[in-house]
Amino acid sequence: MVRRDQRYNTVLSGSLSSFESPVFSPDGSILLYQPTRTTLAAWDIKERKEIWSYSHSDAIMASEVSPDGRLVASSAWDQTVQIRNIITGELIHTLVGAHGQNWAVKFSPDSSLVAGGSGDQTLRIWDVNSGKLIHAFDGFRGWIRSISFSDNLRYVSAGASGGHLRIFDIKEGKEVQRWEVDISGRWTRGFIETRGVRYLDADTVAFSTSDGTITVYDAKENVKWEIARRWDGASFPGGFVQTPDGKQIITLDADATVRVWELKRAA
């Protein structure tokens, strides 16, 4: 795939990392892209030049710049997560422990932790400064390709294949809640995945499943919203985003319509 900057007629050959990877750094100054399946590169938007590139020994699945703008993380099928300096590309940590292909990667809001989801059905969390493994939450039903930390760093949620979402208390190191899609039949379950996991605030998590359903849950108030989107099997529903205040969900639906949903509580 070729990415072209129309303003300056700049062509970047390659692709963007998948599985909900942010394309830009938080300040918008750096673009992450993949010249090859195994290589991640950083493009300086202002200077219009590549500032570094590095490789894994197998395909890179996800990448992200830390919220504080200092580091970049990449997750790959070589069973590692690499942490590097965002300015120089210098390697800081190679995080290991996975026994399957790595998929998702996510920094905590304060950039102190990084989480990785693997095909070995385990969610791992490392300390960014030391590179030490803090938690390994196993027992998922399949690969983990969507991760989100709560704003207050109390919880981490992860979505996996099989329609599985689990929420963990980071400080206590234990599972506090589990969601599963109510389906039957092993062939059906194999095509259902929980994706788009994100916290709207410290207590409210939203996620979607590949059947089109979006669920929003406020743990503090014990309130749940469910948006059931119908599709005819020909066109799949798209993703969703939330407004900055977390009070509305915007969806791209299978009928080529954008809808806005307000999260109202009963009076």
CATH number of the domain where residue 84 is located: 2.130.10.10
- Which structural domain range is residue 20 located in? 2-204
57: phi then psi, degrees, rounded to nearest 5: -85, -5
Q: What pLDDT sits at residue 187? A: 47
Alpha-carbon dihedral of residues 136, 140, 146, 152, nearest 10 degrees? Answer: -50
In a domain, 257, yes or no: no
Q: Where are the alpha helices (DSSP H) in the chain?
A: 186-191
Average pLDDT over residues 90-104: 95
Gap between the Cα atoms of 40 and 186, Å rounded:
36
191: phi then psi, degrees, rounded to nearest 5: -100, 0
In a domain, 264, yes or no: no
Question: For the ranges 15-29, 66-80, 232-246, which has the lowest average pLDDT?
Answer: 232-246
Average pLDDT over residues 10-24: 83
Given a cut of 60, whether residue 111 has pLDDT beyond it is yes
Domain tally for the chain?
Answer: 1
At 267, is the pLDDT very low, low, confident or very high (cuts 50, 70, 90)? low
Output the DSSP codes for 83-116. Answer: EEETTT--EEEEE---SS-EEEEEE-TTSSEEEE
Which residue reads 């039903």 in tokens? 141
In a domain, 24, yes or no: yes
Output the DSSP codes for 136-181. Answer: EE---SS-EEEEEE-TTSSEEEEEEBTTEEEEEETTTTEEEEEEE-
Q: What pLDDT sits at residue 232? A: 62
In a domain, 7, yes or no: yes
